[in-house]
Amino acid sequence: MTGEQFLMLPGPTPLPNRIIRAMSRPLINHRGPEFKKILLEVTEGVKEICQTKHHVLIYPSSGTGGLEAAVVNFISPGDKVLAVSIGVFGDRFASIAKKFGAEVEKMDFTWGEAADPEIIGERLKKDINREIKAVLITHNETSTGVFNDLKAIKEAAGNHPALFLVDAVSGLAAVDLKMDEWGIDVVVSGSQKAFMVPPGLCFLAFNDRAYEAYKKSKSPKFYWDIDLGLEYLAKGQNPVTPPISIYYGMQEALKMMKEEGLENILKRHKNYRDMVRESIKSVGLKLLANDENASTAGTSVIAPEGIGANKIRQYMLEKFNIVLAGGQQSLNDVIFRIGHLGYVRELDLLAVIAALEITLKELGFAFDMGAGVRKAQEFLLNNYKG
């Protein structure tokens, strides 16, 4: 019996029963007092997770909508923009800016590696006329399983006035991000990754520096217009009809996150990463990311030569009902990705590693079966001892 599906993707993620139950409540008037209370509570909660005291607007949208919202509100056509990319989502942010007429200078790093703070700092230092208006960068690159050290990058940027726009769709609440303390101007995230909620809402956090850029911005916008959003938020409403059920889910998710505490959540994700990586290494497989910048949200594993990543994924699905993510674009069939963000337990990962070992054995990979599970068990045992 394969039972319920193990959704081990880096988004969407499994849903806790508490959240499912919260979302099954009857709908309410989205312009009434009950919804107002929920909207304000969820907005405050997202601010806490972003570690900001500034503005947060929530839109009915997937994460990509939030990236577009950031571009149309804070960048004008003709603005020079430095788009740092370490993978698929960095490329996407750059493409959106380009579509809306920004003069995009792309800075690419090898897939599987993090952006080098020094190289970014050097580029900004060379911009003596301060022509670069914004830096677009990914917090956690889901396609490769690498996070960027935003704190170091922001420090390397020195006093350059460019706005920092960050795609934290998969990173927020899985990888540390101190928006105000690090001086990040705009943070974009969404409901379906570390928040343990279905897709449907994106979050746009921005500070006053970003708001000043908005005031001067010439990109056309209606749905994403932040002044419209702020005007309605002041009344406890959304400009449009929001997905009320997803708000119920967010309200419950934020309660759960408060109970656990952000520090503990981040620590838990770090442990998942270390446990999975150590196990995978013990099995004899290679990892795409190096230890230093390996994502705490998901792990990219390089499939053994001769056995494609997709064959492994297919076997895992058919035999165990475990869903792993594939590689995107040039990484298709080269890597598979184990998501371990949001509502994931140690027990889930133990099961995934055990199933993966059986899969590898069956597909003809030569290794010491049990080595991965043993490593995971040792990791947990050591961890429990503190």
Residues that bind ligand PLP (CB under 6 A): 11, 62-64, 89, 138, 140, 142, 167, 169-170, 190, 199
Least separation, in Å, of the C-beta of 56 and ligand PLP? 17
Kindly report the number of other CB atoms within 10 A of residue 166's CB atom. Answer: 30
CB nearer ligand PLP, residue 64 or residue 95: 64
Is residue 114 within 8 Å of residue 146, measured between CB atoms? yes
Closest to ligand PLP by CB, 73 vs 170, is 170
Minimum CB distance to ligand PLP smaller for 75 or for 373: 75
Q: Minimum distance from CB of 379 to ligand PLP (Å)?
A: 26
Closest distance between ligand PLP and the C-beta of residue 77, in Å? Answer: 23
Is residue 365 within 8 A of residue 307, CB to CB? The reply is: yes
| Cis bond upstream, residue 12 (ω within 30) | yes
Tell the smallest beta-carbon distance from residue 62 to ligand PLP (Å): 3
Q: Which is nearer to ligand PLP, 339 or 372 (CB)?
A: 339
Q: How far is the CB of 71 from ligand PLP (least distance, A)?
A: 13
Positive or negative, the Cα torsion across 152, 108, 104, 10? negative
Indicate the residue among 163 and 169 with the shorter CB distance to ligand PLP.
169
Residue 211 CB partners (closer than 8 Å, separation 6+): 55, 226
- Report the candidate in 65, 47, 64, 48 with the shortest Cα–Cα distance to residue 56: 47
Task: Quote the CA–CA distance of 281 and 96 in Å, as a whole number.
Answer: 37
> Please, what is the minimum distance in Å from the beta carbon of residue 346 to ligand PLP?
23
CA distances from 241 to 196, 250, 269 (A): 22, 16, 34
Tokens representing 35 are 């919804």
Identity of the residue, 63 or 327, whose beta carbon is nearer to ligand PLP in the bound complex: 63
